[in-house]
Amino acid sequence: MTGSAAPPDDTAIEGGPDAAAPLRGARPGRLRTAPGPVRTAAGLVLACHPGPTAAVTALVTALVALTGRGPAGAVPTALAVLTGQLSVGWCNDAVDAARDAAAERTAKPIVAGLVTVRTVRAASLAALAACVPLSLACGPLAGATHLFAVAAAWAYNLWLKCTAASWVPYAAGFGAVPVFAAAGMPGGAVPAWWAVLAAALLGCAAHLANVLPDIDADVATGVRGWPQRLGAARVRAVLPLPLLAASVLLVAGPPGPAGAARWLALAAVAACAAAGLLLGRRMPRAPFAAATGAAAVDVLLLAVTPGVVS
């Protein structure tokens, strides 16, 4: 990421006095010697952003399995997506290490002293190297599509995060998911346009929701992406729009009658959006929680809606 220097490669930002409580004594900005193997392993697990990594891997694998490719398609998909997500998560923490220290984000494993910047950077490059052949094992077109999505995420980490175009990698990466699922099918199926657009809108919503809790700290450390330029109040107001638009596409886009389940899903997303707006001022994390719930409904709807690929 431009705009800040990373800590020295052979050091870790100082953490606590023991592995069991790495955050209590963390003092961002001071350096300590490299951590031991147990702390390093724990730090790598945390630095890969395990929640989003697991969620994206599971979603894409499920979508591919539901297209009819079965285990033969799901296994290489899971491995490709997992290594891609690991590379993106580790790259993010390595690039942002100095900025995280300046913002005193002691929940970050590098800031907490669990792992060094050098180790996280090396892990990200190793995962990226493994991602290339694993992606191509899913088929040439599918592999190229997945590598495009991974490249977009790396572009976000290294450059676009601090620009007004910070939403583009999220839209491109999420929008590529139905394309990836379709490209790996025998004969080269074509993804439905509404599925691609809905997935891209979910990507924009994911970007807003992910950044919202940290906008003030981001601005203080020089991050000026799209959400930071909008400000927290506008992000809370805008966040429901891509979620609702994605839901409408997933309900109205497929041919034939929508059915009760899809209409109920749309109602659930609308309820989450309304709750986030109403509670946002009194409970700062309410919009993020509401958006997460709405996105979960939309993701499930995308996975089970027929006609995503044809």
Residue pLDDT, tens place only, 147-157: 999 999 999 99
Residue pLDDT, tens place only, 56-111: 898 888 888 877 777 777 899 999 999 999 999 999 999 999 999 988 889 999 99
Q: How far is CA 162 from CA 99, 157, 165, 167, in A?
A: 12, 9, 8, 10
Give SS3 for 26: coil
pLDDT at 303: 72
- How confident is residue 34, by pLDDT bands cut at 50, 70 and 90? low
- How confident is residue 12, by pLDDT bands cut at 50, 70 and 90? very low
Q: Let me know: does 308 contact 195? Beta carbons within 8 Å.
A: yes
Q: Let me know: does 7 contact 101? Beta carbons within 8 Å.
A: yes
pLDDT at 88: 98
Once rounded to an integer, what is the mean pLDDT over residues 124-152?
A: 96
Window from 120-134, 156-170, 244-258 with minimum mean pLDDT = 244-258
Buried b (16+ CB within 10 A) or exposed e, 50-65: eeebeebbebbbbbbb
